[in-house]
Amino acid sequence: MSSSNGNPTRRNVLRGALAAGGAVMTAGAARAAGDPAITEIQTWNQALGDGVDARPYGTPSEFEAHVKRRNVEWLTADPVSSVNFTPLHELDGIITPNGLCFERHHAGIAEVDPAKHRLMINGLVDTPLVFTMQDILRFPRENRVYFLECAANSGMEWRGSQLNGCQFTHGMIHNVMYTGVPLRLLLEEAGVKTSGKWVMPEGADASAMTRSIPMEKALDDCLVAFKMNGEALRPEQGYPLRLVVPGWEGNMWVKWLRRLEVGDQPWHHREETSKYTDLLADGQARRFTWEMDAKSVITNPSPQAPILHGAGHTVLSGLAWSGRGTIPRVDVTLDGGNSWHAARMSGPSFEKSLHRFYYEFDWDGSPLLLQSRAHDSTGYVQPTKDQLREVRGVNSIYHNNGIQTWHVSESGVAENVEIS
């Protein structure tokens, strides 16, 4: 694990424990007497700040420098073919800021000149076409919020709890509002032949990423996106053009999208044979497991975000999502599943998007075993890790959507554990 993984220092934890020793505090308690943050005049109160010319492109406060993508050393043999993780424990709401979206690339970040970028449609079409970026902007566009989850998210947790932080166990996910042209419109422009049953998107990076996508999905809700959260895609996310494949595994969301080939059968390329297949206990592999099953995680408290205020009123927070629809309900347990409580959903509920939940409770300071369980709009309920292993074995890397457990000690320190 990276050395600066945002874990609490022992001192922070002690401070939390000391606070807990005093009177039980309510949030916003009157403890102002002698507080230097009130009685002393701060530097920012005494001098002029930066002018409007100082920050033409804004960046976060210097006090937020710890909020960043991190990688796991032993997963990063070479940074140009690796992954880093979204700091979920530092975020709230449902939108992932552009600079914090986890990155997964197989051949580094391509720096593509949009003036030289082309999108070709070829194969089983009436009229093969090549679009410039300017051409793409002349099609009707749509704005939609979707999560992208790598199928390998939580993949290191199949055989037992391993990585200490939701950034590492669940951070191969981001949730962004995309602006893009429905893929259906571009395919209709080229005219798909009746024999055209599959689409193969291809990336312009050195890995030339390719996947096979069934035509029904391509014509359903896929977007060819050029904006994320209102501004141009970041180079990390495929600038200037990426495919958005809502609810389906991240690997299919081809970045730096340069070509769409229409064919009559899947191509069986590397990313759908040797990778992104799920080896079962009997040696058979599940293939074409595209949809991301309903899943959730408690982001606060979690190993990188301990309870620092001691016993008393506390806010538990987390994320839930499903590749098949919305999340009408999340259950939370504080005692490892003996009793479950309905979490409070907050914020917009979009299909195939992250959902935010909260659970407010009075912590009595005794150890907790925290879990969350997502229910999606199809009625599917997130399974336990044991239920998942029973069906899928432990050979697989991909599609681990089992229930996550955090143990919280009396001092507020949280740890990745499993209970059975």
Ligand X SMILES: Nc1nc2c(c(=O)[nH]1)N[C@H]1C(S)=C(S)[C@@H](COP(=O)(O)O)O[C@H]1N2
- Asked if 325 interacts with Mo ion (CB under 5 A), we say no
Which helix (DSSP H) or strand (DSSP E) does residue 12 occupy? helix 10-21
| Cβ 153 to ligand X shortest distance, Å | 8
Tokens of 64: 């937020």
Q: Which stretch binds Mo ion (CB under 5 A): 2-10, 149-157, 341-349, 406-414?
A: 149-157
Q: Fill in the per-residue mask, 291 to 320: x = in contact with ligand X (CB under 6 A), - = not in contact.
A: ------------------------------
**What's the rounded Cα separation, in Å, for the pair 292 and 199?**
20
Tell me whether residue 283 is exposed, middle or buried, using C-beta atoms within 10 angstroms of its C-beta: 0 to 12, 13 to 18, 19 or more. exposed
Rounded (5°) CA angle 117-118-123:
150
| For ligand X, the closer CB: 205 or 331 | 205
Under rule CB under 6 A, residue 170 binds ligand X: no
In the chain, the amino acid numbered 162 is: Q
CB of 175 to ligand X, least distance (A): 11
By the 8 A CB rule, do 353 and 146 touch? yes
Task: Give the tokens for residue 120.
Answer: 């070709």
Question: Rounded to whole angstroms, how far apart are CA atoms 251 and 204?
Answer: 15
Beta bridge partners of 254: none
Choose the one of Mo ion, ligand X, none that binds residue 253, judging by a C-beta under 5 to 8 angstroms depending on kind. ligand X
Is 321 near ligand X (CB under 6 A)? no
Rounded CA separation 190/317 (Å): 46
Which residues within the stretch 150-189 sit at the binding site for Mo ion (CB under 5 A)? Answer: 150
Tell which one of 20, 124, 145, 150 touches ligand X (CB under 6 A): 150
Task: Among 16, 70, 85, 104, indicate the residue that binds ligand X (CB under 6 A).
Answer: 104
Q: Binding of ligand X at residue 253 (CB under 6 A)?
A: yes
From ligand X, Mo ion, none, which one binds at residue 408 (CB under 5 to 8 Å depending on kind)? none
Largest CA distance in the chain: 78
Which residues form the interface with ligand X (CB under 6 A)? Answer: 101-106, 148, 150, 174, 203, 205, 207, 209, 236-237, 250-251, 253-256
List contacts with Mo ion (CB under 5 A). Answer: 104, 150, 250-251
